Amino acid sequence: MAGGGGALEIPERQKRGKIVRRKKKKRIGFRIDLTPLVDITFLLLTFFMFTTTMLKPQIMEMRIPPEMYAKVEVRASELLTLMLTADNKLYWYKGIADANNKPQEIPISKLRALAIEKNLEPMVKNRLITVLKISPEANYARVVEILDELNQAEIPITEAIAKEVDEKGEPVKRQRKFTIAPLTEEDLKLIEGEVK
Amino acid sequence: MGFVIDLTPLVDITFLLLTFLMFTAKFKSEAEAEKQFTIRRPQVSPDTTKLPERDLAIINIAIDEKNPTDTGYYYGLTNVKDLQQVYQLVPEIPADFYNKALIKVDTVTLGKLIRATLSVRSSTRFAIDADRRVRFKWVEDAMNIMRRNRAFVFNFVTDKKRPGETEKTEKK
Query: With a CB-CB cutoff of 8 Å, which residues 41-70 of chain A face chain B?
Result: 41-42, 44-45, 48-49, 51-52, 55-67
Whether residue B108 has pLDDT greater than 70: yes
CA of B101 vs chain A CAs: smallest distance (Å):
20
Beta partners for residue B159, in sequence order: B43
For residue A48, what is the nearest residue in chain B, using CA coordinates?
A: B21
Name chain B contacts of A138, Cβ cutoff 8 Å: 135-136
Residue of B42, B137, B148 lying closest to A136 (CB–CB) = B137
Query: What is the CB neighbour count within 10 angstroms for residue A146?
Result: 19
A-chain residues near B47 (CB < 8 A): 58-60
- Domains of chain A, by residue range, sit at 76-195
Look at B172 and A67 and tell me if their CB atoms are within 8 Å: no
A34 touching B (Cβ < 8 Å): yes
Q: B50 and A58 in contact by Cβ < 8 A?
A: yes
B103 DSSP 8-state letter: E
Q: Which residue of B has its CA nearest to A63?
A: B153
With a cut of 80, say whether residue A112 has pLDDT above it.
yes
Measured between CA atoms, how close is A19 to chain B, in angstroms?
21
Residues in chain A: 196
- Note the pLDDT tens digit of each residue in B130-150: 998 898 999 999 999 999 888
CA distance B162 to chain A (A): 10
pLDDT(A2) > 50: no
Do the bridges between strand A79-84 and strand A90-94 make them parallel or antiparallel, or are there none, so unpaired?
Answer: antiparallel
Which residues in A lie closer than 8 A to residue B61 (C-beta atoms)? 140
pLDDT score recorded for residue B22 = 87
- In chain B, where the domains are located: 30-170
- Stated as kind and residue range, the H or E segment containing A7 is helix A2-26
With an 8 Å Cβ cutoff, are A52 and B21 in contact?
A: yes
pLDDT at B102: 86
CA distance B20 to A20: 42
Summarize pLDDT for A134-186 with one digit per residue, the tens: 999 999 999 999 999 999 998 998 888 888 887 788 888 888 888 888 888 88
Model confidence at A87: pLDDT above 70? yes
The verdict on a CB contact (< 8 Å) between A144 and B152 is no
Contact B136 A65 (CB under 8 A): no
Q: For residue B172, how many other CB atoms are within 10 A of its CB?
A: 13
Interface test with A, best of B22, B44, B118 (most A CBs within 10 A): B44
Cα distance between residue B107 and residue B118, in whole Å: 17
Q: How far apart are CA A128 and CA A125, in angstroms?
A: 7
Q: Judge: B135–A140 Cβ closer than 8 Å, yes or no.
A: yes
ipTM of the complex in this document = 0.78
- Where is average pLDDT lowest: B39-48, B62-71, B101-110, B114-123? B62-71
Whether residue A99 is predicted with pLDDT greater than 80 in this model: the reply is: no
To the nearest whole Å, the CA of A52 is away from the closest chain B CA by 7
